[in-house]
Amino acid sequence: MPYPAENIINIVTSIRAAGLGTANFGAGMVFADFDSSSDATFAEGSYRDYGSASAVAANFNIASDPYLAALAWFSAVPKPKSLRIYLRIETDTPVESLNDAINKRIWFYWYEFETSIRATDADVLALIAAGDAAGKYYAGTTNQALVRDPSSSADIVSKAKLQGSRRAHILSHATAPYAGFELGAIFSRVNFNAANSTITGEFKKLPGVTAEDLTLTAYGAMKAKGAPFYTVVETGGQSDAGRVINSKSTSSYGEFIDDVFNLDGFTNALLVNVYNALTGAKKLGQVPSGQQVLIDAAAQIGERFIGNGYLGPRTYTNSETGDEALSDGYEILSSANDILDLTDAERAERFSAPIIMRVFPAGAIHAVDINVDVE
C-alpha cells in the first residue's frame, strides 16, 4: 500500500463550541384562562406563538382578554415580532400558572394575565413577587380609580410600591385594559447589540389607547405613587394627544422601567460573555494572563453597553486616590495580577480572582429647567 500522507502532515482539527447566546428580552407572554380559547385542541398547560392579533383571533374571541392583550402588544411601534400565549391549567392559581410555565422552560420576559386576576390585589402582588424572583417582568395595567386619589393607599399601585418588587410597572388608565402591556411591547423591540438602541418609557405613544385629560390632583397622586399614565399634554391651546408620563417601575429603589430592563440586559450579556470566554478556551490558567481573558470579556460588554446608550460618561471619585476622575461609562477596578493573591483554598477550588466592575448608566432626561434672564 502507498505510504500515508498523514504520516508526513499531521492535521489536528479543532471545533469551537458555540457557547451561550444572550436572552431574548423581546419575548412577551399572556397567561390565558383555561376556558378562553375557542380551539378545543389548545391544551391546558401548553402555549402557542402568534405573529399578529389577527392570528390570535383564530383561537380566541375578539372580545376576549387574550385577544385584547394581543391587540395592545401588536399595536406598539415598532411592532413586536411575536407574542406567546399560555393556556392556564384550570386548577392552578395565578402564581402556579406562572411557575408552571417557568418550570416547563417556556421562555418569556414580559408577561400579563387576564383582567379577572386584577380583581384580587393579593393575586397581583403575589404574581409580581414571583415574577421578580424569576427574572420576569410584569407589564401591568390598573383601572382602579383609587390610584388617582392622593388620600388613599388602598390601591394596587400603592401596595405594589410598598412591596417594592423591581420587575413590574402598573400603568393607570380608566378604561384601557392592556395599556401597560403595550408599553412593555415597545421595550421588547430593543436590541442591546445595536448602537443607540436603548430607550426610556417616558413620552412614548401608545397607538389604540385613548389619552386621558385629568385633574392636577389625579396627576399628582399618580406621580407620588409611581403609576405611569397616558395623557394629553397641552400648552397655549395646542395639545399633543398621547404621551406616557411617569414611567416608573414598582421598585423600592425608585427605578424607572428602563433602569430595570437595561440592567437585566446588561447582566445577562455580561454573564454570557464571561461564560463563553471561560468555556471557549482550552484552559485558562490561574495566572494573570488567564484572569485577563475574563477581564477583557467583561470590558467588551461595558463597551457594548456604552455603544447602545445604557452607559455613559460620568465623573466619579477614585476610591484609591480620592481624586475626581472621568469615566466613559464603566470602570473595572480589579487587575489581572489579583489572581496572584488567591488563597490555597481558592486555588484548589479553581476560582478566578473576583472581577470588580463599576458602571455608570447614562439615564434619560425627562424634565428641563430653563432660566431666562431679560437684560
Model confidence pLDDT, tens digit, residues 138-148: 999 999 999 99
User: Which pLDDT value is given to residue 73?
Assistant: 98
User: Which pLDDT value is given to residue 75?
Assistant: 98
Mean pLDDT, residues 77-96 taken together: 97
Which amino acid appears at position 59 of this protein? N
Is the pLDDT at 16 greater than 90? The verdict is no
Bin 93: left if φ > 0, else alpha if -120 < ψ < 50, else beta: beta
Mean pLDDT, residues 74-98 taken together: 97
Give the Cα separation of 106 and 60 in Å (integer). Answer: 21
Is the pLDDT at 2 greater than 90? The verdict is no
What is the chain's mean pLDDT, rounded?
Answer: 96
Let me know: does 170 contact 160? Beta carbons within 8 Å.
Answer: yes
Mean pLDDT, residues 64-83 taken together: 97
Give the Cα separation of 250 and 16 in Å (integer). Answer: 43
pLDDT per residue as tens digits for the range 35-53: 999 999 999 999 999 999 9
Is the pLDDT at 122 greater than 80? The verdict is yes
Give the Cα separation of 252 and 128 in Å (integer). Answer: 13
Residue that the C-alpha cell 403609576 belongs to: 227
Question: What residues are paired with 364 via a beta bridge?
Answer: none
Let me know: does 141 contact 173? Beta carbons within 8 Å.
Answer: yes
Give the Cα separation of 72 and 32 in Å (integer). Answer: 15
Q: Can you say whether the dihedral through the CA atoms of 157, 177, 261, 275 is positive or negative?
A: positive
Let me know: does 143 contact 177? Beta carbons within 8 Å.
Answer: yes
Give the Cα separation of 4 and 10 in Å (integer). Answer: 11
Percent over 90 (pLDDT), the chain: 92
From residue 99, alpha-carbon distances to 152, 164, 184 in Å are: 32, 20, 21
pLDDT per residue as tens digits for the range 262-275: 999 999 999 999 99
Mean pLDDT, residues 174-184 taken together: 98
pLDDT per residue as tens digits for the range 205-247: 999 999 999 999 999 999 999 999 999 999 999 999 999 999 9
pLDDT band at residue 115 under the 50/70/90 scheme = very high
Is the pLDDT at 114 greater than 90? The verdict is yes
pLDDT band at residue 170 under the 50/70/90 scheme = very high
User: Which pLDDT value is given to residue 5?
Assistant: 80
Neighbouring C-alpha atoms within 13 Å toward the C-beta of 5:
1
Let me know: does 157 contact 142? Beta carbons within 8 Å.
Answer: yes
Give the Cα separation of 224 and 213 in Å (integer). Answer: 18
pLDDT band at residue 295 under the 50/70/90 scheme = very high
For 326, the enclosing helix (H) or strand (E) is: strand 324-327
Let me know: does 222 contact 229? Beta carbons within 8 Å.
Answer: yes
Is the pLDDT at 12 greater than 90? The verdict is no
Report residue 61 CA to chain centroid gap.
30
Mean pLDDT, residues 114-125 taken together: 97
Mean pLDDT, residues 295-312 taken together: 98
Is the pLDDT at 14 greater than 80? The verdict is no
- Give the 3-state secondary structure of residue 97: helix
Give the Cα separation of 113 and 30 in Å (integer). Answer: 6
pLDDT per residue as tens digits for the range 193-207: 999 999 999 999 999
pLDDT band at residue 1 under the 50/70/90 scheme = confident
Joined grid coordinates for residue 11: 492535521
User: Which pLDDT value is given to residue 330?
Assistant: 97
Is the pLDDT at 320 greater than 80? The verdict is no
CB contact set of 202 (below 8 Å; sequence gap of 6+): 244, 245, 246, 247, 256, 364, 366
Give the Cα separation of 365 and 350 in Å (integer). Answer: 45
Percent over 70 (pLDDT), the chain: 100
